[in-house]
Each structure stands twice: as C-alpha cells, then as structure tokens.
C-alpha cells in the first residue's frame, strides 16, 4: 500500500505543495507537507526497490481497490488468461505457459495501422522504460501480438520495435505460426475481450487495451485506451511482481499445474508467521512488565498509608476500649 501515497501526490500535487502561509495552523500544515515530502521520497524508493519487498494478497487486494477508485481506465480482471501458441520474427515459439513466473504486459496491434497502434506502441515503450529502470526489468515480459499476420511479415516485425522505441531485451512482437488460420490472433483478441474488425481499406476498427497477466498466468487487469496514468500502471505491475503466496496456491486459483516453489515464496513463507508472532511476544512482555511495575508501585507507596490507617484504626479501637473500661 505504500505506493499509493505516491500516486495520490502525483495526481494531485497541489494538495501537498500548495499549502498557504500565515494561518494559525501553518505549523501543522508545513509539518504535514514535510511528512508528505518525506513519504514521497520513501515511496518513490519503494517502487524502485521492487523485487525486494514482498507484498501479501491482502495488500494487493487493497491496491486493486484503491487503483479502481483512482484510475478510471483501470479494470480489475481475475480469470485465467487465454492461452496462445505463436512465434516471433525469428520463428521462435512463444506460449503463455512458457512465460509463467513473469508478469506479462500484452497488447494487440498491427504494423500498418495509421493512427492509434503507433501511439499505443509509444505508450508501451514509455511503460517499459519506467519498468526497466528498476529491478522489475527481469520479472516483466512485454508482448505485442499482430492482428494482421498476412502483412506483418518477419521483416516488418523485426523493424517495428526499434522504430517505436521498444527495448528488445524484454519485448517481443508475435505472429501466427505456419498452419494457423489468418484470423487466429484476431480470435485471440476476442478471447481477451475486444475486437479487430476488418474494414474495406485493409485497416481494422479496434479498441486499445493493455492487458496485465500475473506470474501464474491469470489475467489480472486491463488498462483501457491511452489516457491512464503510467504511474498507476507501474504501481500495479510492481505489486504483481512482488505478490507472494504459498507454493501451490496458484494451482487452486487457475486450475493449472502447481508451479515450483520460488525462492521468494520460501522466504516469505518463513517471514509471514514470524512477524505477527514477534509482535505478539513483545505485546505480552510489555503487558506483563506493566502489571508487575504497577503492582510494585502499589505495594511501595500504598503500604505505609495502609499501615498508618491501621494504626489510626487501632488507636480508635484502643480509645474506645478505654472508654468502655472506664464505664
């Protein structure tokens, strides 16, 4: 959840920076601003430190809800991603199962598009740049799939990435394999939830969606059109990269084969029970210490008072007895 403060501050910078001076509550406002500034730096660092901080399912769910509230182009999805078996420009086979263990950012385009596909590719390149500046680089794979395999030959595919600022180290442009129907990738786009409809001039009428698939092959989110805040996108991908769960849990969720336990799963598996246990022991120790302390104080300071009272009472009884004896 720590990343959310960063999102808030970037979307509404005036709320943090534009704090007026001269009012009686100035000190409070400036303190809030200073704390906000410190948080921003910390939170920015936390994004850059992706891969080092495990997130649990609870914080991921909170993040999804928060992003859903803040980012109107963000759609939460949670279902197995449609499977595919395609190839890249060099003829290397790519399929979804082979990408397990990585967060996959997937979109559909075609190289001959005269308008929105180039803009979509530039946006993907921008997101890729942001992600590749962090340790997330090794955990995220960008995949673009052509919906016009007849015209997007291997030469066209090879030339497309460098021309649009895409980093070939973790971006691939995929097309159909020999023998697959010409509309196989358009059908795949439909299984992802949107259409590429051919029109007379050889172009396609289509929507613009950036899909995010988690490390276990589940489609987790769609970011629609080109207007979403890239920071929100990177924040979400960061959460998925750091999402840890018990080994085998994913198999239950998506009906696949249980993945081999990852090192981060094993570390997190040990850390998760240790942290609440430590807090519990500390709380119990504090409680016992507090009880002993107050009992000691009571004995030390109240005992003389009781003794005095007892002496007074005994004096009264003695005096009373003396009166009775006199009578």
Binding residues (CB under 5 A) for Cu ion: these are: 113, 116-117
Task: Report the DSSP beta bridge partners of residue 222.
Answer: 75, 211
Query: Which of residues 111 and 140 has its CB atom nearest to Cu ion in the complex?
Result: 111
Q: What are the structure tokens assigned to 29, written together? A: 């406002």
Query: Which residues contact residue 49 at a Cβ distance below 8 angstroms, ignoring those fewer than 6 apart?
Result: 134, 135
Q: Which of 76, 58, 55 is closest to 3 using CA atoms?
A: 55
Choose between 95 and 203: whose C-beta lies nearer to Cu ion.
203
* Residues 30, 281: Cα–Cα separation, whole Å: 38
- Tell me how far apart the alpha carbons of residues 177 and 94 are, in angstroms, rounded to a whole number: 10
**β-strands 103-109, 140-146 pairing:** parallel
Least distance in Å: CB of 81 to Cu ion?
22
Compute the residue count for the chain.
Answer: 327
User: Residue 123 CB, nearest distance to Cu ion (Å)?
Assistant: 13
Report, in Å, the least distance between residue 247 CB and Cu ion: 41
User: Residue 157 CB, nearest distance to Cu ion (Å)?
Assistant: 16
Q: How far is the CB of 170 from Cu ion (least distance, A)?
A: 23
Smallest gap from Cβ 203 to Cu ion, in A, equals: 8
Distant-in-sequence, close-in-space partners of 61: CB < 8 Å, separation ≥ 6: none
Candidates 113, 85, 133; CA nearest to 237 is 133
77/116 with CB nearer Cu ion: 116
Question: In 10 A of CB 116, how many CB atoms?
Answer: 15
Nearer to Cu ion, 88 or 203 (CB): 203
Nearer to Cu ion, 3 or 117 (CB): 117
Residue closer to Cu ion (CB basis): 116 or 159: 116
Residue nearest Cu ion, CB atom distance: 113
């Amino acid at each position: 959840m720590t990343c959310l403060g960063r999102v808030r501050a970037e979307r509404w910078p005036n709320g943090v920076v534009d704090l007026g001076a001269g009012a009686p509550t100035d000190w409070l406002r400036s303190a809030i601003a200073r704390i906000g500034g410190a948080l921003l730096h910390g939170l920015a660092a936390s994004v850059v430190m992706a891969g080092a901080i495990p997130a649990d399912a609870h914080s991921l769910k909170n993040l999804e809800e928060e992003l859903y509230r803040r980012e109107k182009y963000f759609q939460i999805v949670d279902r197995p991603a449609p499977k595919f078996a395609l190839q890249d420009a060099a003829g290397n086979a790519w399929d979804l199962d082979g990408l397990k263990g990585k967060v996959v950012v997937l979109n559909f385009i075609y190289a001959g598009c005269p308008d929105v596909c180039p803009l979509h590719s530039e946006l993907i390149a921008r997101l890729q740049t942001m992600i590749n500046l962090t340790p997330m680089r090794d955990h995220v794979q960008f995949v673009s799939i052509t919906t016009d395999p007849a015209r997007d030959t291997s030469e066209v595919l090879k030339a497309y990435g460098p021309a649009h600022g895409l980093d070939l180290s973790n971006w691939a442009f995929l097309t159909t394999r020999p023998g697959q129907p010409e509309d196989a990738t358009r059908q795949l786009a439909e299984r992802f939830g949107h259409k590429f409809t051919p029109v007379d001039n050889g172009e396609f009428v289509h929507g613009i969606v950036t899909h995010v698939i988690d490390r276990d092959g589940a489609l987790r989110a769609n970011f629609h059109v080109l207007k979403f805040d890239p920071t929100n996108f990177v924040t979400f991908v960061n959460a998925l990269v750091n999402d840890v769960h018990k080994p085998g849990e994913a198999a239950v969720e998506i009906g696949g084969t249980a993945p081999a336990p990852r090192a981060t799963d094993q570390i997190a598996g040990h850390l998760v029970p240790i942290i609440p246990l430590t807090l519990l022991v500390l709380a119990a120790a504090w409680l016992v210490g507090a009880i002993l302390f107050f009992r000691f104080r009571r004995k030390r300071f109240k005992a003389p008072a009781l003794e005095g009272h007892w002496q007074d009472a005994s004096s009264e009884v003695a005096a009373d007895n003396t009166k009775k004896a006199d009578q």
